[in-house]
Amino acid sequence: MEPVHLKLELAVHGARLDAALAQRIGRGRGAGSSARPSLDVVLPGEVWVGVPIVDTPTPYVLAAEGDDTYLLRGDATGNADLRIEVRIATPPRFYERRTSRGTPMSTIATVRAGHLVISPGAACGYSMNGAPCRFCLEGARVAVERDAAPIADVIH
């Protein structure tokens, strides 16, 4: 399967994490609500995709075997018909920082395929409910000015 086609499939369907990968990246039991709803995955050919991590049925699983990470696609019986080595992009260190008002930096700025996206406005209405939009990672913006980050928080 071509990496660009696979990118679209993953963006629409998302992927589940196997237990070994969830533990490796800190999303095992007890990881809490701070876990990001998606992972940046680098496919063959250096094709980047933000993969929504879902608990709902999907043919895709991100799995760890030793130090390697694989994308598996299976059928309803659990037989894998696709197995390719992928890389999980390392989240930027600033994701763990907070602004002077205590707002997590990851809600103001994110890195998408090597580009910094700054969103000082209100949080996405879909992601606030724990269900990212199927068509984009930003989703529908909630028009609530009180949730917008102050300019000083964005530039400091």
109-131 pLDDT tens trace = 777 666 777 766 655 555 445 55
| CA 148/CA 38 separation, integer angstroms | 22
The arithmetic mean of pLDDT across residues 51-63, rounded, is 92
Q: 115 and 50 share a domain?
A: no
pLDDT in tens, 80-98: 788 999 999 887 888 888 8
What pLDDT is attached to residue 67? 92
Same domain, 18 and 78: yes
For residue 52, pLDDT over 70 is answered with yes
End position of a domain, from candidates 61, 88, 115? 88
pLDDT at res. 133? 54
Residues 81, 131 share a domain = no
Task: Compute the average pLDDT of residues 29-53.
Answer: 74
Q: Domain tally for the chain? A: 2
What is the percentage of the chain residues whose pLDDT exceeds 90? 31
Give which of 76, 89, 112, 12 is closest to 43, Cα–Cα: 89
Whether residues 103 and 72 fall in one domain: no
Mean pLDDT for 49-75 is 91
Q: Are residues 70 and 99 in the same domain?
A: no
For residue 29, what pLDDT band results from cuts at 50, 70 and 90? very low
Q: What pLDDT does residue 76 have?
A: 60
Distance of alpha carbon 48 from alpha carbon 42, whole angstroms: 5
Cα Rg for the chain, rounded, in angstroms?
Answer: 16
- Contact between 118 and 154 under an 8 Å Cβ cutoff? The reply is yes
8 and 84 in a common domain:
yes
Question: What's residue 139's pLDDT?
Answer: 46
Overall pTM surpassing 0.85 (yes/no): no
Tell whether 97 and 146 lie within a shared domain.
Answer: yes
> Structural domain of residue 58, as residue ranges?
3-88
